[in-house]
Structure 1
């Protein structure tokens, strides 16, 4: 099965480099390119991609707003935002908008393609330890939300699993930590996604921090 992706970046050279990288990877096909967020939203409606690689800073509709529009619509496309080291302040906002993870632009092209495959498979966050620190940093700086999401509907075991997800552990690590099978971890993950109305693992990490289930110590 070929993975369909859309490249959204206002820098043609960035798009060209990614497009060339996919040429030697037959499992990935670029089905559209956009120079701004509005174009990316339109492409998602027509090209039906599996993943959108989305730059944050673009003219007009930026990557955060485009991500919000795409993930709130009927598409099942997952969004991976692009960032540079001085863009870290925007990553949390992008994840809150519905992005499944993020990539740093100076990563090796093969690593970027591998990360896109991970997000398409709904397996884990991109660079979970880095993402977790960014989410923690910005959650701690932000004002507490007016209405915190309730965790009343989840079981004690599900709370344990959610806390470990928030700490950045993989399914394998969660299974080892709780001495349960991988199948059981996946069952808990499925139930958490449904009960918390979360799109993917990234949203569960955010929920773990915003509800205070996971705290960050300086």
Structure 2
């Protein structure tokens, strides 16, 4: 049973929306409202405090409605419905948006009740199919992440500057040591960060020991 869970349903098919509302109520939930577009969604969120928002991804402008649901009611757990297990890109987009649960087209009604109950309790829940897709996505991102290695080519000047970053010198101090303009140093540092695949000087300095020759005089 759903033990009074407050549920908001977002679906532009009246028949399916009404059926879903009747089903969750029969399992002990309270339907705080139904929505079918942006204005009705925002009106429902303003008037109630749903604990779970069900978004049918077959609804027109579903991705926009999903974002609005997450933004307008951050305390609610959002569950997406009607997603195909073969649509990896949609599953990943929903995960990146911040959904708390999935109910695939091939899954049963009892599975949906379990998802709603878990999400209402503050948990994240998805099927093994979803888990496998998300893990595969994480693995792909990890393999694509740029890592400095044997193929990394730094100029002599970049090696000098990287060694100075390693010991914590500022752009002004590097410019003074190399007798070059500060903006030139900034350009070299930007190039270094890009080549190393990092976003900060501290990260570049941390990688310096694995990249620079054992003896690299500053």
Give the TM-score of the pair, scaled to structure 1: 0.55
In structure 2, the partner of 1:67 is 66
In structure 2, the partner of 1:176 is none
Which stretches of structure 1, 4 residues or more, deviate above 6 A after TM superposition? none
The alignment covers a number of residue pairs equal to: 142
In structure 2, the partner of 1:204 is none
SS in 2 for 1:2: coil
In structure 2, the partner of 1:156 is none
Q: Distance in 1 between matches of 2:136 and 2:41?
A: 29
Partners of 2:53 and 2:69 within 8 A in 1? no
Structure-2 change in CA distance of 1:45 and 1:9 (3 Å): same
Q: How does 1:50-199 map to 2 (within 5 A)?
A: 50-59=51-60, 61-62=61-62, 64-73=63-72, 75-82=74-81, 83-127=83-127, 129-139=128-138
Structure-2 change in CA distance of 1:70 and 1:111 (3 Å): same
Q: What per-residue deviation string (whole Å, max 9, x for no partner) do you get for residues 59-108 of structure 1?
A: 2x32x332323323454111001113454421111121111121113432
Deviation of 1:25 after TM superposition, in Å, equals: 1.8
In structure 1, the partner of 2:20 is 18
Partners of 2:45 and 2:72 within 8 A in 1? no
Name stretches of at least 5 consecutive residues in structure 1 with no aligned partner.
147-218
SS in 2 for 1:72: helix
Partners of 1:119 and 1:126 within 8 A in 2? no
Partners of 1:5 and 1:29 within 8 A in 2? yes
In structure 2, the partner of 1:42 is 43
Structure-2 change in CA distance of 1:19 and 1:66 (3 Å): same
Q: Which has the higher contact order (CA 8 A, sep 6+)?
A: 1
Give the TM-score of the pair, scaled to structure 2: 0.55
Q: Distance in 1 between matches of 2:93 and 2:99?
A: 9
Partners of 1:68 and 1:97 within 8 A in 2? yes
Partners of 1:80 and 1:99 within 8 A in 2? yes
Deviation of 1:137 after TM superposition, in Å, equals: 3.7
